[in-house]
Amino acid sequence: MPIPARSVERAGVSILVFGDAGSAGRAAALRIQSTIHAAVAERGRAVLGLATGATPQKVYAHLVALHHDGELSFRDVVTYNLDEFYPIGPLDPKSYRSYMHRHLFSHVDLAPNHAHLLDGTVPERFVAEHCAGFDRWIAADGGLDLQLLGIGRNGHIGFNEPSALSVAEALALPTRLVELHPVTRSDAARDFGGVDQVIPRALTLGVAPILAARSILMLATGPHKADSVARALGGPMTAGLPASLLQSAAARVTWMLDEPAAAGLF
Ligand code: GLP
């Protein structure tokens, strides 16, 4: 694994800071590889929670390279993605289903029926049932061995957006349909060709199933993440900054950062 420039523990949370985003992404991929190998050796399969966005693209590129080098197979891997726009078709290039196909699924030996995403085509009256089913499938697969996360500039995880809920209510949030926060919509504008074109709702894995993962790997890179990273790690737990809720699972969480994203921490 690339050597982190700094490795610190804050209130039981492990924080690894790397010299650049490429090294952080490579370290995240190697952590995922070792999690897959350990889970397959122990239980015959590995269950991964996957994220989208710009940040994990480097991770997927490294995982694909490991696969091509014969050092990683996805034969015994099952995946669940964090979120999906709603409504959206799977073939829409802006869907997270097509993102996953482009960056990972089409390049590795993951069986198509092992790759689960929330379905942006489910009729709205069945959405609640679909979301509850997704949580049950994860549980039936034995729970997530590792959840890969990114952080929004507003501190969101998946599409769990800032809210005025109590901490207890936020920690209990299940998988569900949500309205996107204005900051999320403006950040998605680059992919949708304008903020008015952004699909305003999404399906997201809830805070509760995210926190239930046996390990959580948060990857954040770039100076635009420094503020939400510093508040998530150094501020109080609050539903106003959903990533701060990771403090409740501190011992199972690793933050992998580049220097710019860690700028507010030291
Ligand atoms: C997106 C996704 C999140 C992701 C975050 C950061 O909207 N829903 O799961 O972690 O925002 O994205 P990026 O890596 O592009 O900054």
Per-residue pLDDT tens digits for 199-253:
999 999 999 999 999 999 999 999 999 999 999 999 999 999 999 999 999 999 9
pLDDT score, position 5: 82
**pLDDT, the chain, mean:** 97
From the DSSP assignment, how many helices (H) and strands (E) are in the chain?
8, 11
pLDDT score, position 10: 87
Query: What average pLDDT does the segment 88-114 reach?
Result: 98
pLDDT score, position 74: 99
Helix residue ranges, H only, 107-152: 127-140
pLDDT score, position 266: 85
Report how far ligand 1's centroid is from the alpha carbon of 41 (Å): 31
Report how far ligand 1's centroid is from the alpha carbon of 151 (Å): 6
Report how far ligand 1's centroid is from the alpha carbon of 235 (Å): 21
Confidence band, pLDDT 50/70/90 cuts, at residue 2: confident
Would you say residue 1 has pLDDT above 80?
no
3-state secondary structure at position 222: coil
Q: Which residue has the higher pLDDT, 5 or 118?
A: 118
Q: pLDDT tens digit string along 150-161?
A: 999 999 999 999
Instruction: Tell me the C-alpha distance between 254 and 217, whole Å.
Output: 5
pLDDT score, position 221: 98
pLDDT score, position 144: 98
Confidence band, pLDDT 50/70/90 cuts, at residue 24: very high
What is the number of the ligand 1 atom nearest to the C-alpha of 184?
7
What percentage of residues in the chain have a pLDDT greater than 90? Answer: 96
Report how far ligand 1's centroid is from the alpha carbon of 150 (Å): 6
Which of 67, 114, 156, 181 is labelled catalytic?
A: 156
Whether 154 sits among the annotated catalytic residues: the reply is yes
Whether 161 sits among the annotated catalytic residues: the reply is yes
Biggest CA-to-CA distance, the chain: 50
Query: What average pLDDT does the segment 54-62 reach?
Result: 98
Enumerate residues lining ligand 1, CB below 6 A: 51-55, 82-83, 150, 152, 158-159, 184
Pocket test for ligand 1, best of 151, 153, 192, 204 (most atoms within 8 A of CB): 151
